[in-house]
Structure 1
Amino acid sequence: MLELNHIRKSFDGTPVLHDISLRVEDGEIVSILGPSGCGKTTLLNLILGLTDADSGEIRYNGEDLTRTPMEKRGFNIVFQDYALFPNLNVYKNITYGLKNRAHLTSQQEVEELIDLLGLRDHLSKRVDQLSGGQKQRVALARTMVMKPRILLLDEPLSALDGVIKESIKDRIKTIAREYHLTTIIVTHDPEEALTLSDRVLIIDKGTISQYARPEEIVHQPKNDFVRKFILNQLEIKRDNIYALFGRPSVAAAV
């Protein structure tokens, strides 16, 4: 279980996050959703340990991690640009982190992960021979072999579309369920957040607008910002969302 209590963060005197408190249960998939500049990436970096909070507390299973260095938190991230090694083939990219920590993951577990992510036929390929979806799967595999306590994803689907995007979305869900892995995803796409997550955290101007299950956000938006942000997206991709959650009530739309 991950807990954030009264987190605040400023850069050069400008507040970015205001009194953020939330709780992510073990094994949950949570999306952090909001427009550009709302503070969602800053929040992800605070959880990872890439930057420090000005005040507040971060706890994992009761342990205070607020000032714990990133490398000792046991959280791993897949960046938006994948950050793969172009001089290594797929297999060496996947196992790179195990060079000095081979005890973390057995060879059998590596092989099972390769099959789970559908990478068996690509192991000898160079990174520049892969599609965007294949690169994303390699980045996921490289992170998963390190057995993270929490998996963090920064805009994992932003460079993908169509069938490839849906395939990667399904694989992220499968990994989270198979490994009972707490997964936190930053996205600007409401449809992505609503269809991928157990709960969605919507941020506006550094504050929490709503933190709830997708169906609650669709049918019971907490304020005008959530209502407009979500309903605007529903107009664009309404068939996908309505198929899952039904149409929002008249009251929600007003």
Structure 2
Amino acid sequence: MLKLENITQSFEGREVLRGISFSAEKGEIVSILGPSGCGKTTLLNIVLGLVRPTGGRLVYDGEDLTRVPMERRGFNIVFQDYALFPNLNAYENIVYGLRNVKNRTTDAEVKDLVKLLGLEEHLQKKIDELSGGQKQRVALARTLVMKPRLLLLDEPLSALDGLIKESIKARIKTIARQFQLTTLIVTHDPEEALTLSDKVLIINEGRIAQYATPMEIVSAPANDFVEHFILSQLTIKRDNIYKLFEGSGR
């Protein structure tokens, strides 16, 4: 469904991305993982259409979108800070984008999505009355009612912890499976990427360090960087590392 071919990006003569090539199938969750400054957010912006790559191609469903503007791609993003409207309640935020798009999503579909995300009791609340997890679910709902062809998430769990984080992870997985929605997630957290994704794209200094399933990365890291970056940030010992995949379906 999504294919990037030899994507490069330079800003003021500084090369940020160097020959990035990978593909993601329909309904797959792919995490883009790496340290700060590695180029992962730039890559997400290229896919979204906010940034045009210096070189390479971006193809979706057989169509070359490299020079197609963002508003014509049909991709949608949930930003790290949620970008919700504070003067509107949760429901008004969710349906805001439908005002200028007729027949995109029915009232019944909105209701089903609200139920899927567990937001029924929060619809009349103002944004400042919601918890971090509730804001994240409202932001997801607002994006999903627009029926995106591709879902992009920028650090969706960074402000969450504990049971709330696990709940949002479960909902993201359910959404990807139920709607067969290809999903790209930018994260700096290896444990988050390994337990949430079908595949993980690890970037180091603008290059792909490894692109593989979580199990492949854990069992056979491609190089010293991958092994150190992954293992140094996990909260469990290496002997118990495979517990990351219990109940995750990975």
For the aligned pair, the TM-score class normalised by the smaller chain equals over 0.9
Distance 1:123 1:25 in 2: 34
Distance 1:91 1:20 in 2: 39
Give the 3-state SS of the residue equivalent to 2:141 in structure 1: helix
Q: Do the aligned partners of 2:195 and 2:245 also contact (CA within 8 Å) in 1?
A: no
- Tell me the residue number matched to 1:110: 110
Could you tell me the TM-score, scaled by structure 2's length?
A: 0.96
- Tell me the residue number matched to 2:89: 89
- Tell me the residue number matched to 2:220: 220
Distance 1:237 1:76 in 2: 34
1:245 deviation in Å? 4.7
Q: Do the aligned partners of 1:195 and 1:241 also contact (CA within 8 Å) in 2?
A: no
Give the 3-state SS of the residue equivalent to 2:21 in structure 1: strand
Equivalent residue letter for 1:60? Y
1:241 deviation in Å? 3.9
1:100 deviation in Å? 1.1
- Tell me the residue number matched to 1:237: 236
- Tell me the residue number matched to 2:174: 174
Q: Do the aligned partners of 1:218 and 1:245 also contact (CA within 8 Å) in 2?
A: no
Give the 3-state SS of the residue equivalent to 2:67 in structure 1: coil
- Once the two structures are superposed, residues 71-103 of structure 1 have per-residue CA deviations (whole angstroms, 9 ceiling, x without a partner) of 000000000000000000000000000001131
* 2:39 counterpart of 1:39: yes
Distance 2:106 2:167 in 1: 27
Distance 1:69 1:238 in 2: 46
Which sections of structure 1, spanning at least 5 residues, go unmatched? 247-254
Q: Do the aligned partners of 1:191 and 1:241 also contact (CA within 8 Å) in 2?
A: no
Distance 1:125 1:96 in 2: 15
Give the 3-state SS of the residue equivalent to 2:236 in structure 1: helix
* 2:13 counterpart of 1:10: no
* 2:76 counterpart of 1:76: yes
- Tell me the residue number matched to 2:62: 62
Runs of 4+ in structure 1 deviating by more than 2 angstroms, as ranges, are: 236-242
- Once the two structures are superposed, residues 12-63 of structure 1 have per-residue CA deviations (whole angstroms, 9 ceiling, x without a partner) of 1110000111111111000000000000000000000000000100000110
Give the 3-state SS of the residue equivalent to 2:142 in structure 1: helix
Which sections of structure 2, spanning at least 5 residues, go unmatched? none
Distance 2:233 2:127 in 1: 34
Equivalent residue letter for 1:50? L
- Tell me the residue number matched to 2:123: 123
Give the 3-state SS of the residue equivalent to 2:103 in structure 1: helix
Equivalent residue letter for 1:109? E
Distance 1:229 1:70 in 2: 33
Distance 2:42 2:194 in 1: 21
Could you tell me the TM-score, scaled by structure 1's length?
A: 0.94
- Tell me the residue number matched to 2:205: 205
1:230 deviation in Å? 1.0
- Once the two structures are superposed, residues 124-179 of structure 1 have per-residue CA deviations (whole angstroms, 9 ceiling, x without a partner) of 00000000000000000000000000000000000001111111111111111111
- Tell me the residue number matched to 1:185: 185
Distance 2:2 2:81 in 1: 26
- Tell me the residue number matched to 1:249: none
Q: Do the aligned partners of 1:3 and 1:60 also contact (CA within 8 Å) in 2?
A: yes
1:186 deviation in Å? 0.2
Root-mean-square deviation over aligned CA pairs: 1.2
